[in-house]
Structure 1
Amino acid sequence: VPPTFEQLLGDVKALADSGLYPEASKYAAELLASPDRTPAESRRLYAELARVIFLHEEGNAVHGKGNCERIIINTNMSLGEGESFDAATHRMRALAFEWLQRPASALAEYQQAVEKGIADRWEISKRILEIRRATEGISAKELHAVFDEFLAGQGVSQELQFWAALEKVDLFGREGDHATTERFLSANAARFRDSAFAGQFDYLQALAWYHLGRKEDAERLLRSVRDRLSWAEPTYICAGWLLGRILQEQESPQFALSFYEDVLDKAPPGPYRTAAILGRAETLAALERFDESVESYLEAIQKTMDRPYGSVIDVQQIRESATAWYRDLASRGRLAEAVPYLREAARLVPPADTERQASYAEWQADLAMKLGESLLADEQGTDAATGQGAKAKEYLQEAGREYLRLARLASLNEARSSRAIWRAADAFDRAGDLRQAAAVLDRFVADRPTSNRVPEALRRLGQMYQAVGDYDRAIERYQESLAQFSGTPAAVSSIVPLADCLTEKGDLETAEQALLRLVAHKSDESLRSVMPEAREYREALFRLGDLYIRTKKYEEAIARFQEALDRYPNDPRSSRAMFMLAESHRVSADRLYSDYLDPKNVPHKDRLRATYIERLKKARQLYDGLIERFRLREASSLGELERTYIKLSHFYRADVVHDLARVSDPSDLMPFIDSLELYDRAAWLYQEDPMAMSAYIQMINCYIRLGKIDKARMTLQRARWALKGVPDESFDKYSPDEDRQYWTAYLDWLEKTPTFSLALAGSD
């Protein structure tokens, strides 16, 4: 005989009652799939399936969203037309809605359960109150009225009456109504003292004294309560938590921690256990065990979110506690330790509370910015890399993200939002994330074209694009700033970097014109207020000198470098400017000599000769001055480039003295005598440098011109010996064609040249 439906349904219930929930669920689903199932039978199976899933979820600490939704769906499917749920089903649905974090729906189901005569109506009423307190906010007057109902109600258990009394005492204490507390305790003393809850009444008295500020009295009474009670009793746990609280407020964190740890060791999951976890987090922070403290905060947050109703603490209290530790640590300069506290506090701010969200975003951004900049400063202040640069970048990028979030949250406050975007760009810029910083500023310019920050934004955009080598976009932004905001400090500051970008692009003529706007501006231009004292004027002057060197406009370079030295003798670049000015005189003299030899310039030969001599003498003077300037400094303070300037000055000053012979009377041998001494000194100072070979060649020529053949021969031999002393690696700095073999062959050739060989033969 086939089993009846009642037997089949009984089998499902038996499996569920045995804890075989997956099997029961699967069997119920198979029965539902049968084509012979009647609508009434299906509804009963849906109801049982909901019960099976509920029993499974009721035993879980973490509830599956899908299962909770199936409880609701299956109970809905279990109703026929005109039917309604019984009280127990309403309670089951209420819990499912709680697990789904839908408190309004849970409240409605609980209220239906009470109205339909649920057996434990007072427990359900307590739950309704806990949910309302957590989600709606109830006035103290209404709370007292509800608690009074529990104290006076028929059939209310002693445990629930004590809970109501405990809540009233705590509420009176928070209100500061201590006189009413004492009257309430006196009126209810008989209710508890003559019962199994006598110890609990002493706890109420201790709680009242705690709120009154009689903490030492409360501590003594609480210790007495714990001595009289078993650790398994709930009041033993409450007393342990409150003792921890009192000792914590008396700044005895180590003793407070011992009580919190005792509570955690003995208490089952519940409100006081969660409160003790928070107490542990706070006392660990006071003991500067920050990593453990943060872990406890995370645990307290998770427990409170898992059980948001009926708790001694709520997420707002946790947020305020973590925020207080952030402020305390930040005020003491413990920025890194403050970070996790602020992060955890920030994520507890309700999403709808945009003003508080904005405040926390700003605090997080400011803290991350300070940390990042501090780490960057530490990194830059050490000779060796400390590895803090990567961490600094992380903090600065976090700051940028939080400032952008602040800008969105404060969108109705234009000034605050604009400042936040600006700070975001600063943060990304400091992090070296120039593309992101540029994207932020580009959006700023597009969204706020009338802001007084736009000129500076355009200048910074130009700098950022320039830094990443995007010269076209950099030029576009600099030119936009100059076109729209000419004369503003930001536009003036854009001119030199604009010229740099144009130079990189090879547009040297436009670069020159840009720089001339600063140092040779017309009287009617908006830049006429830029005086030589301005940084931009100074930068433009040095840049023009370099530009003229690059374009071989040496006369213009002489003028600009001379002006730069006259105006800014103490500028860090003055040594380089001095060298380049000497170079401009030397190279331009070579050009003048070419003009001097040109037959077309015969009418101007005297002027050309005089200018040629003047340029060479000025170059000599500048090289001498540069050598003397560096001689007065400690050798260890000289950089590689400065050492190069000194070396070249020694060789080039000998060259310019030697070149005076080109236009001197043939009988005037002083250029050879003077340059011979200078070449000899240069060769001696830099005997391990291949450049010394050129000096030796010039010395040989000078001796031949002076008729000192023996000296020429000796110098040739000196050159050969000197060549042997030049290290191989020294040749790597020069053209690969001028290696040791090259100079050896050159000296051999020189010795065999007719002029040199005849002179040597004649001397024999």
Structure 2
Amino acid sequence: MALRPSRLVWRSIVSDAKPTTPDKSSPEAIAAPGVRTRIANQLNWSGGSRLRKIILGSLTAIGLAGLFAFWSYLGHVTVVDVPVVTLDVAWQALDQRKFEEARNVISEIQRNPSGLTDFGSYLYILGAVKSYQADKEWSDDRKRATHLIAARYLQKARELGVPEQREGELIYLLGQSLVYGNQPQEGIAILQESLQTLSDPPVQLRRLLTEAYLNLPNPKLAKALEQNRYLVSDESLSDSERDDALLTHSQILLQLGKLEEATTFINSLDNNKVYQAAKDTLLGRLALAQARTAKPNSAERTALVDSALKDFREALRQDTLHGRVRRQAMVFIGECYELKNDYPAAIAEYDNIGNSFGDTSESIVATLSKARLLQQTGRPDKALVAYRSVLESVGEPVTYVNPLLPFAQLRKMLLQAHSRFVEDRNFEQAMALVEHFASLFDPTTVTELRGITHVAWGEANLEEASKAQRRHSTESLQTEGRYHFRSAGRAFQTLAEMRFATVQFTDDLWAAAENYYRGHSYTQTALVLDEYLHHEARTRRALALLRYGQSQLAVGKMKEAVAALEECIEMHPRDASVYAARVACAQAFLALDQPEKAEALLVSNITGDTLRPESPEWRESLFLLGTHLHESGEYAESIKVLEEAVARYPTAPQALLARYTIARSFHSAAEQPAKKARLAKTENERQKNRKIRDHNLESALENYQDVQRRITLGGHADESLMTKALLRNCYMMQGSVLFQLRRYEDARKAYANISTLYQHEPFVLESFVHIANCWHRLNQPLNARQTIAQAKLVLERLPGTVNFKESTNFSRQQWELLLDEMAQW
């Protein structure tokens, strides 16, 4: 049996639970003994057996469950009794301008997707709320962004449809959001539609259209004036609204250059203190516009500029709010200083505006003007910094709105700045400016400007190279110039890829090929021209085939060159490119060891009726034909052709080498009569051939000396590797000719010049050998041995890294053996 507590124990527990000092007069104190007694009795009863405990626990659980069910029922009844939100409630809130309540109602409706039916109305309400909220934003950027969000809602609402009585308001709000979201072109289209549907358009619609036309990238001033004219003539406007319209009208007339009409409207403004600063600014702008039309440096211009300055300074005094009117007046003060040619004062004024007013519209205009003046006054680095500041302040085009500087005008001024940098040959600044254009210009424009800059840079380098006095400077400038042409080629090739589907595609390919060719990147030239010829069937085809053939010729692909050049010659016989194609094709045939075909092409150029001697192709054909005849062993013909060439073109780049070739032809022509003289069986025959030999040798000597004098007296001895080689060879060949003429002392002196001038080059060893031979012929063996000893000393001093076979026929070891053997003679 279960134990249960005695009554004494329960009494003790109950008594311990009682308050120590009860207030017997209170209701709780009176009722407490009964409740406690009942609880005690229940507990005492349930403790009597296990069954009783189960019964009491079950009754308690049932009671709690009932209580929970009761409260759930009450909660359900309460929820059901809440008024149901509907679209009408949202419309009512919107009409009462309770925008937050309207948005909350739509949000509540959206929680029950099954009940959504009129999607257009929901989106319209959300768009309208956003449009109204945009006006409360604290910054212009946030206002534009919010208006764009509203425009998206409203556009979708229009597509889905709204109640007919709401359509007019929808169109107006959509147009307003697009205009204030910096999409004026789209906004104008919507507002014009609204204008056509309304018989009596509201004032707000006219004002909004005026603002939209003024905010276009290329403002439509005439249309803005037309819309604003309705506002000016509307008698229902308040005084402040009318003054606003008159101010706008005057500004538009000033921009249109209608100064007399602008004067009339400015004078019609009331002397209202609120608008006095704006009126003074307009009067200053009027005087400034008149000053621009006056004669430079005239008394009239000076007076007008002073009048404008006075008005702008008065505007500064009147504008106690230090707002937009003040900023604009400061910008125009800077322009006044420009007209007075006081550029330092103008720059200082513009700099003050930029430092004081952050990224405002007026600050952008002032910084851009400062950059322009810095560029004009020869400070390109500072100008570039200012231009960069402008570009950073402008940011994205979609957010740009500036009544003083429309977007199209901004782009135009930046392009003019780039052109000015290029014209002044400030190519580094021009290229740096182009690299910052990406935010305002499309990629094709940026790439094209990059290519144009590289082309101008390369041409400037080549022009400087042609005027340079030192060979190192010339070669360095030429190398840099070719680099820029190759960079231009890459830019135009990229541009062609961007404009593949446009009519400019083949023009871009051609520009890329031409610049690759000028940059001596012949492989790339051929690749681009191959694509050009694939896409272009008519324009520049002959010239493209010529360039393709010349490029293949430059990289040693003679057969491909011949194929392209022959196509040019055969398929375009009347094109001017055919003459240069003949020259290039002749060079390819010579490389392929087909001299007859080469000679035929060159003769065609020289003897044809269409090409004149003044043309570069005729000149190149003549020089190339003379060189070919020399290499073919036809020395007499070579001399005849080359003498005509140097007589016609004494200053041509090929003339110096042609004169040397003439000397070599005379020198080589002496070999045959010398051989005949040795083999002659009669004295008459021997003397005859010796006379011919000596005549040729004397002519050769004369021409060698002529080339030497032209190089040394002309100051070109260190110009190029070819010139240096020609001078060295002239000294050597003079010694050789004199030796053959048996003028050994003169020959020794000629060789001695080489040993003196070229002591640190391997070929000087040959001059020592020839000098030793001259001493032997003069029967002075001691001097010959001393010369060989001197040659051995020179050989020892030459660095071990020198490659002897580049300029001589022997290696270092072979020279050592030869000199050792000659020392024993």
Partner of 1:167: 248
- TM-aligned CA distance change 1:582 to 1:690, over 3 Å: farther
Mapped to 1, the partners of 2:753 and 2:284 lie a distance apart of: 92
Given that residues 364 and 402 in structure 1 are in contact (C-alpha distance below 8 angstroms), is that contact kept between their aligned partners in structure 2? no
User: C-alpha deviations, 1:399-435, integer Å up to 9, x for none?
Assistant: 9789999x999979xxxx9999988876554454556
- Partner residue of 2:481? 389
Hey, what does 1:625 align to over in structure 2?
702
Aligned-partner Cα distance in 2 for 1:49–1:429: 61
The equivalent residue for 2:314 is: 224
List per-residue Cα deviations over 1:730-752 (Å, max 9, x = no partner): 8553322762432255348x76x
CA contact (8 A) 1:231 1:266 kept: no
Pairing 1:153–2:227 present: no
1:502 CA drift (Å): 1.7
Q: Any conservation in 1 of the 2:184–2:212 contact (CA below 8 Å)?
A: no
How far apart in 1 are the matches of 2:224 and 2:190?
23
Residue in 2 that maps onto 1:475: 562
User: What is the match of residue 661 of structure 2?
Assistant: 577
Alignment partner for residue 514 of structure 1, among 577, 593, 601? 601
TM-score (norm 1): 0.66
Equivalent position of 2:38 in the other structure:
none
TM-align CA RMSD: 6.2
- 1:355-387 Cα offsets, whole Å, 9 max, x none, are xx99x9999998875554233212443332368
Q: Which amino acid aligns with 1:108?
A: I
8 Å Cα contact 1:90/1:109 also seen in 2: yes
Q: 1:557 aligns with which of 618, 622, 635?
A: 635
Asked whether 1:378 is paired with 2:464, we answer yes
Aligned to 2:656, what secondary structure does the other structure show? coil
Q: Residue 789 of structure 2 corresponds to which residue in structure 1?
A: 721
Residue 127 in structure 1 maps to residue 195 in structure 2: no
Give the residue type in structure 2 aligned to 1:646. C
Q: Which residue of 2 aligns with 1:499?
A: 586
**Distance verdict in 2 for CA 1:621–1:317, change over 3 Å:** closer
SS of 1:564 mapped into structure 2: helix
Name the aligned partner's letter for residue 314 of structure 2.
Answer: S
Please show how residues 26-65 of structure 1 align to structure 2 within 5 Å. Answer: 37-39=114-116, 60-61=141-142, 63=145
| 1:432–1:77 Cα change, 3 Å | same
Q: Deviations over 1:646-704 (max 9, x none)?
A: 343255336645xxxxxxxxxxxxxxxx476577657756667333575478679869x
Instruction: Tell me the residue number matched to 2:72.
Output: none
Report the Cα offset of residue 226 of structure 1.
Answer: 2.5
1:175-203 alpha-carbon deviations (Å, 9 max, x no partner): 666666566556552xx53x654555555
Partner residue in 2 for 1:739: 814
Do the aligned partners of residues 390 and 282 (structure 1) sit closer, same or farther apart at CA in structure 2, a change above 3 Å counting? same
Q: Which amino acid aligns with 1:561?
A: I
Paired amino acid for 2:232: D
* SS in structure 2 at match of 1:739: helix
Determine if the alignment matches structure 1 residue 640 to structure 2 residue 730: no
1:310-459 → structure 2 map (5 Å cutoff): 311-318=403-410, 372-382=458-468, 383=470, 384=473, 385=476, 389=481, 392-393=484-485, 429-432=517-520, 439=528, 443=532, 447=536, 449=538, 459=546
Q: SS of the residue aligned with 1:734?
A: coil
**Alignment partner, residue 143 of structure 1:** 227
Following superposition, the deviation at residue 575 of structure 1 comes to 3.9
Q: Is the aligned partner of 1:108 residue 2:190?
A: yes
Contact 1:277 1:299 in 2 (8 A): no
Superposed CA deviations along residues 123-150 of structure 1, whole A, max 9, x for unmatched, are: 6653332114445664476234323256
Call closer, same or farther: CA 1:545–1:373 in 2, change over 3 Å.
closer
Larger Rg computed on CA atoms: 2
Q: Which amino acid aligns with 1:690?
A: L
Residues 148-227 of structure 1 correspond to what in structure 2 (within 5 A)?
148=232, 152-154=235-237, 156=238, 158=240, 160-173=241-254, 184=265, 188-189=269-270, 192-193=271-272, 196-197=274-275, 199-203=277-281, 206=284, 214-227=304-317
Q: Please say if residues 459 and 478 of structure 1, whose CA atoms lie closer than 8 Å, have aligned partners that are also in contact.
A: yes
Unaligned runs of 5+ in 1: 10-24, 352-356, 522-526, 598-603, 658-673, 752-764
Distance change >3 Å, CA 67–CA 699, structure 1 → 2: same
Report the CA distance shift for 1:319/1:251 in structure 2 as closer, same or farther (over 3 A): farther
Q: Assess, with a 3 A threshold, how the Cα gap between structure 1 residues 8 and 268 changes in structure 2: closer, same or farther.
A: farther
| CA pair 501-306 structure 1, distance change in 2 beyond 3 A | same
**CA separation of 1:589 and 1:648: change in aligned 2, threshold 3 A:** farther
**Matched residues in 1 for 2:745 and 2:372: separation?**
81
Q: Tell me, yes or no, if the aligned pair for 1:173 and 1:181 is still in contact at 8 Å.
A: yes
**1:169–1:215: structure 2 CA closer, same or farther, 3 Å change rule?**
farther
- Mapped pair 1:91 → 2:167: no
User: Aligned-pair distance for 1:506?
Assistant: 3.5
Counterpart amino acid of 1:573?
A: L
State how far apart, in whole Å, the 2-side matches of 1:715 and 1:690 are.
Answer: 16
- The alignment covers a number of residue pairs equal to 673
Q: Matched residues in 2 for 1:390 and 1:139: separation?
A: 52
Q: What residue is the counterpart of 2:100 in the other structure?
A: none
Residues in 1 aligned to 2:671 and 2:352: alpha-carbon distance in whole angstroms: 89
Deviation at 1:715, TM superposition (A): 6.9
Code of the aligned partner of 1:311: P
Of 273-282 and 572-581, deviating more is 273-282
What residue number does 1:295 align with? 388
Q: Is residue 626–residue 639 contact of structure 2 (8 Å, CA) maintained in 1?
A: yes
What is the CA distance between 1:267 and its match in structure 2? 5.7
Distance 1:518 1:485 in 2: 15
Q: Distance in 2 between matches of 1:268 and 1:637?
A: 59
Q: Distance in 1 between matches of 2:83 and 2:486?
A: 65
Q: Mark the CA change 1:31 to 1:280 in structure 2 (over 3 Å): closer, same or farther.
A: farther
Distance 2:196 2:641 in 1: 95
Stretches of structure 2 that go unaligned for 5 or more consecutive residues are 1-74, 87-102, 292-303, 718-722
Partners of 1:367 and 1:542 lie apart in 2 by: 36
Give the whole-Å Cα distance in 1 for the aligned partners of 2:260 and 2:612: 78
Return the TM-score normalized by structure 2.
0.62
Shift of 1:166: 0.7
CA separation in 1, counterparts of 2:359 and 2:733? 84
Q: Following TM superposition, by how much is the alpha carbon of 1:104 offset from its aligned partner in structure 2, in angstroms?
A: 2.8
